[in-house]
Structure 1
Amino acid sequence: MAGLSRYAIDLTPLRTSREFRYIFIARTISIFGLGLLLVAVPLQVYDMTNSTLAVGAASIVVGSSVFIGTLFGGVIADRYDRRPVISLARAAAGVAFAILAVNAFLPTPQLWIIYLCGVIEGLAGGISATALMAVIPSLLPKDKMAAAGALMTVMADLGTVASPAIGGVIIAATSVGTNYVLAAVSSGITAYCIARLPSLPPPVKNTESPLRSIASGFTYAAKDSVVGGTLLVGFCAMMLTGWNVLLPAYASQVLHAGPAATGLLYSAPAVGALTGSLTSGWTGTARRGGLIVFLAAMIASAGLIGVGAVPLIAVTFLGLAAHGFGRVLGDILRYAVIQTETPEEYRGRVAGVWGAQISTGSAAGALVAGAVGAAVGPREAFLLYGAGGIVVLAVLALTLKGLRTYSSAAAEEDDLSAAAQ
């Protein structure tokens, strides 16, 4: 029984840190609100315009704003007290959601208001997420970074599955305006939870110009073999998430699956990710954690190969679940490495680089997967996409020795304790 408990998700950060509990609650509520928007905005824009291009434009507006907010959020987090930065950013997002609600209840809602609020939401979200990531290492010991990452990840995975489904039910029962109202309320609660934290100023106030400060964050990451290598592997791992653009064609043309089965397949990675998160207790003291970062991404790639190799719905579900399992395991370990190894004075900017590699990697992955799928077909694209991921990761594992041989201080202490016994 004691052996099994080692694998259960570590709840210590929630039990021991009041401040982390506030952050966890704030993040959970925020994810719920954002999930409601994930359904409301596309449905409203399409209902107003009957144009998928307009829906895509709304996504691009938010995505590009998040990217900008992430980079400049890192600069702000390394220059000012992080508590008011996060709280004010969430309050600004709440104002944008309230404006969306008012606009939705108007007799003739305005499209430009939706796009404008998308800019505010994206900037605020990028800033708050970056500052929030920079805060956590100051609240918990280093050996609990993996546990914190797992807790944040499991809640994000649950929220991104449940909240859009709830949002769809709410829209069907009432209107998109209700979703916006609830999103605004959730942002207000989030801002209140963050305001309950103590003052969280950076230890060394960065006084460089914003652009030079962003550049210095990238420079630091590039020079540090462990941090830089972790970010590079993270970019590759995010590129692997582009598979979702292949699934509609694969389900229709290869599996001959209907909408219900296709929806089930889209949920498969979340099932794998949830399994990985709930059994992640061992990651905090894992030996050769750097090597496991590569292996986790390879598991995610192998899952995609399995999808293309055996065109059966059950195998596709298992392959995508394996992909989700590998992805979340890599996310947790990379998060722990970044949070543990980044110096305090660079945490905001490195968190900004982390956020940037997530958004750019996902976009690049979707573009690559779409291009490969158009050229060779969806089944072959899954095979090539997964195999290409394994090849690239193998090359990186051979060249990034600093990350490949990395073990956390907690793992080394665990080894010493075991040897002493």
Structure 2
Amino acid sequence: MAGVQERLRRVALDTRPLSFAPYRRLLVGQGVSFIGFQLTAVAVSGQVYAISGSSLWVGMLGPVSLVPLVVFGLWGGAFADAIERRRLLLIGSVISWSATVALLLHAWSGLNSVPVVLAAVAVQSIGFAITSATRGAIIPRLLPTERVAAANTLNFMVSNFGTVVGPLLAGAVLHFGGFALAYLLDAILFGAGFYAAVRLPRIEPLGEISRPGLRSVLDGLRYIATQPIVLMSFVVDIIAMALAMPRALFPEMTAERFGGSSVAFGWLSASIAIGSVTAALFSGWVGRVRRQGVALTLVIALWGLAVAAAAFARPLWLVVTLLAIAGAADLASAVWRQTILQTYAPDELRGRMQGVFMVVVAGGPRLGDLRAGAMASAYGLVTAWALGGLLCTVLVLIVGFAVSSFRRYDAFARRQETG
């Protein structure tokens, strides 16, 4: 019996980072706030369509949010390496909250202006970019290095939980209370994240401080280009998302195989996140993996294979199960990529590394949407879906094992080097 309990402890979610109060507050605040963020994301899409009656305007939400994410993700990361990080997190939080309040006032006013909604979404993306880059640079300062991987698992688990709960909550809220109630709830839930940021200790940047600006951003990009291990953590993620992200094909699969059922569409949309949350509950082993480069390559190959297999599945339960397996692989991938960045790069570059990480995380799936949509239009649903997954698997195995330093990377040895 004792042996079984020990094995269960080794695979169960590692909650030891929760013993550190500042991190615990940050995690809970992030989780609650992210539910509100997802609630608003669904409400915004619905409101834009209700006002315009056009999917094109709904599609414009993508570039309107992506451009600020790219620009201010890099810029915010540079500032996170130059000024006190708690203060920057608070600034970014206020920017995000002001955008939510603007959406709320717009919904109450009855103005029904798509440009106003798009402008608010752009401002919200600015705040999100700044806070995401800054929060990623803060976490390694709150915890011992050996707890960072477990902390990242917890972070991605609560984010994926919000990705499941937020849209489901949005459906009920929009049905009973409309867009204004959705934005009001987001504004209230946001208070949890703001409170957590207020309670953080002061976190001054360490090491050589670079003046934030274009030169500082370029210095961060130059560091990535000269560090194969860091560079590869971005390359393999771009391969995974650009080639194998299937979400743009969910509506077509719903229409072709499941009669346009909104229930089926909801399960497809939530399937990857469901797999990630489930995997996080049994992720105690993730932080004990030494060869994170090899492990990262293999789980992305698994992601591609699971996505490809889902293209041929017919029952809804099987499609959802395969995509959930892909989501489980994505959870491990995200944890190791984030951990490599937070523990490999020196503190004076962590903000910029997190800025680039956020840009890749936000931009990769959007490239995947474009790739999937274009291929489906040219070659059909199954070819676009399955071929993308297979190409991802083949390419990531070739690239991941071709770079020797990435293949040999030992996370435990790196911890000893950095103390």
Q: Which moved more, 1:273-282 or 1:347-356?
A: 273-282
CA distance in 1, matches of 2:64, 2:95: 17
Deviation at 1:134, TM superposition (A): 0.4
1:68 Cα offset (Å):
1.6
Partner Cα separation in structure 2 for residue 329 and residue 124 of structure 1: 27
Partners of 2:141 and 2:266 in 1: CA distance? 40
- How far does residue 207 in structure 1 lie from its aligned partner after superposition? 3.2
Aligned to 2:13: 9
Instruction: Say whether residues 1:398 and 2:401 are aligned partners.
Output: yes
Name the stretch that deviates more: 182-191 or 44-53: 182-191
State the one-letter code of the partner of 2:157.
Answer: V
* Greater than 6 Å deviation, 4+ residue runs: 410-413
**SS, match of residue 280 in structure 1:** coil
How far the C-alpha of 1:390 sits from its partner, in A, is: 0.9
Gap change, CA 1:138 and 1:209, over 3 Å in 2: closer
Q: In the TM superposition, what are the counterparts of 1:87-126 in structure 2 within 5 Å?
A: 87-126=90-129
CA contact (8 A) 2:243 2:391 kept: no
Kept in 1: contact 2:73–2:133 (CA 8 A): yes
Aligned to 1:315: 318
Q: 2:86, 2:203 within 8 Å by CA — same for their partners in 1? A: yes
Q: 1:402 to 1:98 in 2, by over 3 A?
A: same
Structure 2 CA distance for aligned equivalents of residues 245 and 139 of structure 1: 38
Cα deviation for residue 86 of structure 1 reads 0.6
In 1, Cα distance between equivalents of 2:175 and 2:68:
29
Q: Within the alignment, does 1:29 sit opposite 2:32 as a pair?
A: yes
Which position in structure 2 is the counterpart of 1:228?
231
TM-score normalised by length of structure 1: 0.93
Q: CA deviation at 1:257?
A: 6.3
Q: Which amino acid aligns with 2:354?
A: A
1:136 aligns with 139
Q: Does 1:206 align with 2:209?
A: yes
User: Which whole-Å CA distance do the structure 2 matches of 1:168 and 1:98 have between them?
Assistant: 20
Q: Which stretches in structure 2 are left out of the alignment for 5+ residues?
A: none
CA distance in 1, matches of 2:243, 2:7: 33
1:299 Cα deviation from its structure 2 partner: 0.8
2:252 maps to which residue? 249
- Aligned pair count reads 412
Question: What is the aligned partner in structure 2 of residue 262 from structure 1?
Answer: 265
Q: In structure 2, what residue type is equivalent to 1:36?
A: L
Pairing 1:305–2:308 present: yes
Q: Does the 8 Å contact 1:151/1:277 carry over to 2?
A: yes
What's 2:190 paired with?
A: 187
CA contact (8 A) 1:80 1:205 kept: no
- Contact 2:30/2:192 (CA < 8 Å) preserved in 1? no
SS of the equivalent of 2:206 reads coil
Deviation (angstroms), 1:221? 1.0
CA positional deviation for 1:29: 2.1
Calculate the aligned-residue CA RMSD, in Å: 1.9
Rounded to whole Å, the distance in 1 between the matches of 2:113 and 2:318 is: 45
Q: How has the CA–CA distance of structure 1 residues 96 and 259 changed in structure 2, closer, same or farther, with 3 Å as cutoff?
A: closer
1:56 matches 2:59: yes
Mark the CA change 1:225 to 1:277 in structure 2 (over 3 Å): closer, same or farther. Answer: same
Asked if structure 2 preserves the Cα contact closer than 8 Å seen for 1:93 and 1:187, the reply is no
Deviation at 1:349, TM superposition (A): 0.4
Q: Which whole-Å CA distance do the structure 2 matches of 1:98 and 1:249 have between them?
A: 35
Partner secondary structure for residue 246 of structure 1: helix
Quick one: distance in 2 between partners of 1:99 and 1:300? 39
CA distance in 1, matches of 2:12, 2:414: 17
The structural deviation recorded for 1:341 is 0.7
Match of 1:279 in 2: 282
Q: Is the 8 A contact 1:81 1:199 kept in 2?
A: yes
Deviates more, 1:6-15 or 1:50-59: 50-59
Contact kept, 8 Å, 2:254 with 2:265, in 1: the verdict is yes
TM-superposed deviation, 1:398: 2.5
Shift of 1:161: 0.8
Deviations 1:245-304 (A, max 9, x none): 122223332565633223223222122112221111111111322211001101100101
**Is the Cα–Cα contact under 8 Å of residues 26 and 196 in structure 2 kept in the other structure?**
yes
